[in-house]
Every structure is written in structure tokens, then in C-alpha cells.
Amino acid sequence: MPERALPYRPHNHEACVSQALADARAICRQQNARLTPIRERVLELIWQSHKPLGAYDILAMLGTEGHNAAPPTVYRALDFLLQYGLVHRIASLNAFTGCTHAGEHHRGTFLICRQCSNVLELDVPEVMGAVEAAAAAVAFRPEEVTLEIAGLCPRCQGGSGHA
């Protein structure tokens, strides 16, 4: 059994990491933002994991690769990746996950398995529409909305892995 848990939906993992990095390069080029080697490596580590990673997890991984990075370097890289919509911060885990809709303005909705820590980003505009309508009904204007839903993924439920 592989050490790294797989996401809920079957896919070609190497292709997904490669696509995320290609998207990041294109977004940074369009925005005139500098995707430095350390920023790109942090993004790659996050995507390779498929599980949210904390800053110190990333720092430890970089250390095993011979990088002499300090915590501020990793935090600056994460801030950059957040700023350009390349990663999301999962507040309940104090960790970061790759954004599957990089370059698009959207509000994050995440399923988080409390047993294996896998995270799946959902695209559910009807849920966000309901949140925005409820807020508007009380004259509230949401600026940031991130919905984190904790539970058990199909694998941890003992299911076949298909949702």
C-alpha cells in the first residue's frame, strides 16, 4: 500500500503536479510575478503531497533535499502562492493545499478527511450562491468565504474509494 494517500477522485498524479506547475508559471508570467525556484519547489511539494502541508512540514522536506531554508523563507513563499491563488490555506489544519482552480477567482469549499487528512477541493457554485444569498438577506457583504467540511473519505469509511 502506498505511503501517500490518494485523493478521492482517480487521476494521473504526475500529470496533475506537472499541470499545476505549468499553470503557476503561466499565471505568474501573466501577472509579472516572479516564481522563484524556492517558490516553485514549495508549490511542487504541496502538490506532490495531495495532503495539506504545514510550513514546518515543508521546511523539513526542503531540509532533506539540502536546502538551507529558514521558516521566514517558507512563509514568504506560501504568502506569494496564496497571493496569486496557487494554494489555499486550510485554517482548521493550519496547512496549505494546491488550488485546483488556480487563476480563477473563486471561493474554496473543501472536504477534509479527519482520519487520513486528505483534502478535496469542490466546485459547488450553488453552495456559495446560497451563502452569498443568506448574507445578502441580512445586508452582509462577504469578502472571504472558505468552507471546510470535516468527515471521512470513502477509503477511510472502508468504501471502494468511489464517491
Contact call for residues 135 and 125 (beta carbons, < 8 A): no
99 labeled part of a ligand binding site: no
Name 111's Cβ contacts closer than 8 Å, sequence gap at least 6.
8, 119, 120, 122, 149, 151, 153
28 labeled part of a ligand binding site: no
Contact call for residues 52 and 96 (beta carbons, < 8 A): yes
105 labeled part of a ligand binding site: yes
Contact call for residues 109 and 142 (beta carbons, < 8 A): no
162 labeled part of a ligand binding site: no
153 labeled part of a ligand binding site: yes
Q: Would you tell me how many other CB atoms lie within 10 Å of the CB of residue 100? A: 19
Helix (H) or strand (E) holding 88: strand 87-90
Contact call for residues 88 and 108 (beta carbons, < 8 A): yes
Binding-site positions:
105, 113, 116, 153, 156
Binding-site positions for Fe cation:
105
Binding-site positions for Zn(2+):
113, 116, 153, 156
